[in-house]
Each structure stands twice: as C-alpha cells, then as structure tokens.
Amino acid sequence: MKKILTVVALIIFIAALLYFFRYFKGKGAKNVGFDEIETDNIPAQINEVLPNYRVKEKALVCRINDEIFVVVTRGEKNSAGYDVGIKKITLDTADGQKVLTVYAEYTDPKPGDVTAQILTYPFIVVKTDLTELPDKVVLEKEYTH
C-alpha cells in the first residue's frame, strides 16, 4: 500500500512540476504589439514566398523595409472551416538568444458541421512593433472549435 501511495505522490509531484514550468514559461517575456494585415495589403515579398510555406504548420518572421512581420501558416486542410489567429506574441531572452514566441489559436470546424470539401491553406500575417529580428521563433498552438 505504501508503494502505491509513493507512486501516486510521485506522479502528482511530476504533474505539478510540469504545470508549474508550463504556467510560468514566458512570465519574464515582453509582450510584442502587432496588427493583423488584411489579405489585400500583404506585402508582395510575403506573397511571393508564402506558397513555399503554406503546406507547413509554422511561424515565420521576416523584415521588409524596416518593418518586422510574422506569418503563421496552418498547413493544408481538406475542407473549409479551419482558421488561424494570433492571441499574443512575446519576446524573451534565453541562453543569450532573443526568442520570439507566437501564441496561435487554431480553429477547427465543429464535429458534424457541413463544410465545403476544398483544399484550404489558412494563414495570418501581422506587422509587429519589433525593430530587430529574433534569433529563434517558437510556435505555441491552442486548438478551439
């Protein structure tokens, strides 16, 4: 019985530790301001390279003229009803590197929804208030319906 209690206590401790690190990750990070760019106003340089990345699920950062843009792609989807948004962007320093974390919200169609059966490539482009490119980009995803 004591072994079972010890194992349960150890599992609870590990779960609490994981929650603690996940919860406090990015607490010292600085929020980065951003504005969504409408599809018609996306810079030509981004439109040119977007087809190379639209089938992947990732976050990209690029500098165009003295402005820093973030692009989040959702990958290829077999139907309509998928979307992507950005909840927040943070900038932190880890191991001497500037790390940009993009918190994306992925919306999926609700189970049972009738959607058009077409290939879609959801993405979003935002202009940030950054002045320098980060050394590393991390994409954190949250799924909703």
pLDDT in tens, the chain (145 residues): 778 888 888 888 888 877 766 655 545 789 999 999 999 999 999 999 999 999 999 999 999 999 999 999 999 999 999 999 999 999 999 888 999 999 999 999 988 889 999 999 999 999 999 999 999 999 999 998 8
CA 119, CA 131: separation in Å to the nearest integer?
A: 36
CA 129, CA 37: separation in Å to the nearest integer?
A: 13
CA atoms within 13 A on the CB side of 95: 3
pTM of the model: 0.78
Q: Residue ranges of the domains in the chain?
A: 29-144
Is 112 within 8 Å of 72 (Cβ atoms)?
Answer: no
